Amino acid sequence: MDQRTGQDHSALFADLVKIMARLRGPDGCPWDREQDHRTLRPCLLEETYEVLDAIDREDDEDLREELGDLLLQVVFHAQLASEAESFGIEDVISGLRDKLVARHPHVFGDASATTPQEVLHQWDALKRREKDHEGVDPVTEVPASLPALSRAQVVLRRAARASLSRPLDDACAAAETALSALSHAEAESAYATLGELLLAIVDIARAHGVDAEQALRERVGKLIAEVRARAPDNAATRERAGPD
């Protein structure tokens, strides 16, 4: 029961699942009936970024709505899987429930973890044990479909948690070397050198506890504001400058 609204969570969720099933039913929505897991990929990605945007803007009303849109994607994919007799929304929920309990033995069991770092180390160890991945490198399951900057962050963070990261001084030295090399690099070598520089910068951000993705996002937001301030009449500016 939601203490704020007095509504029953389970009843609300059951209604949502029924609505999704009807939309996919014989007399449902033509668009919904046409979708599959792959065609919904862009929707899932778009809704995820819209949630992030609402968080960045600290807009609780938009966040509430965008979280609903993201939840729709979860229910939609579960409905598709149910129709294929692969799994259902109950399997998704029960799997998540069991994972949360199993990965938090310091809350639901007798284990001890008093700092966020200890929790993360424990989480990684339990995850490897559950998946029978003891001894496997910690970056095996980093999705290749992640944007490059986000993927670099995940790889470097997991390597650090496994004590496989380079020291901060080494990352700074690598950034300085790459930056120096770029000043006289040929086109072909500049490509690889820039990759080295970007990776080193992400590694430096990790060492300082900075989210590189968020830092760049915020700086780009400031850049947009700066450009708009310099060119208040955007339409006229574009007309003078010509097409991009």
Per residue in 133-171, pLDDT tens?
555 566 777 888 888 998 999 999 888 888 888 999 999
**Alpha-carbon gap, residue 157 to 165, rounded angstroms:** 8
**3-state SS string over the chain?**
CCCCCCCCHHHHHHHHHHHHHHHCCCCCCHHHHHCCCCCCHHHHHHHHHHHHHHHHCCCHHHHHHHHHHHHHHHHHHHHHHHHCCCCCHHHHHHHHHHHHHHCCHHHHCCCCCCCHHHHHHHHHHHHHHHCCCCCCCCCCCCCCCCCHHHHHHHHHHHHHHCCCCCCHHHHHHHHHHHHHHHCCCCHHHHHHHHHHHHHHHHHHHHHCCCCHHHHHHHHHHHHHHHHHHHCCCHHHHHHHHCCC
Select the CATH number that applies to the domain covering 9-95 from these four: 1.10.3720.10, 3.30.700.30, 1.10.3470.10, 1.10.287.1080.
1.10.287.1080
pTM of the complete model beyond 0.75? no
What is the percent of the chain where pLDDT is above 90?
64
pLDDT category at 63 given cuts 50, 70, 90 is: very high
**Alpha-carbon gap, residue 224 to 17, rounded angstroms:** 41
Is the confidence at residue 234, as pLDDT, over 70?
no
Q: What is the pLDDT of residue 5?
A: 60
87 token code pair? 């799994």
Q: What is the pLDDT of residue 161?
A: 82
Is the confidence at residue 240, as pLDDT, over 60?
no
Is the confidence at residue 233, as pLDDT, over 80?
no
How does pLDDT run across 175-226, given as a tens digit for each residue? 999 999 998 878 778 888 999 999 999 999 999 999 998 899 889 989 999 9
CATH 1.10.287.1080 segments of the chain: 9-95
How does pLDDT run across 92-111, given as a tens digit for each residue? 999 999 999 999 999 999 99
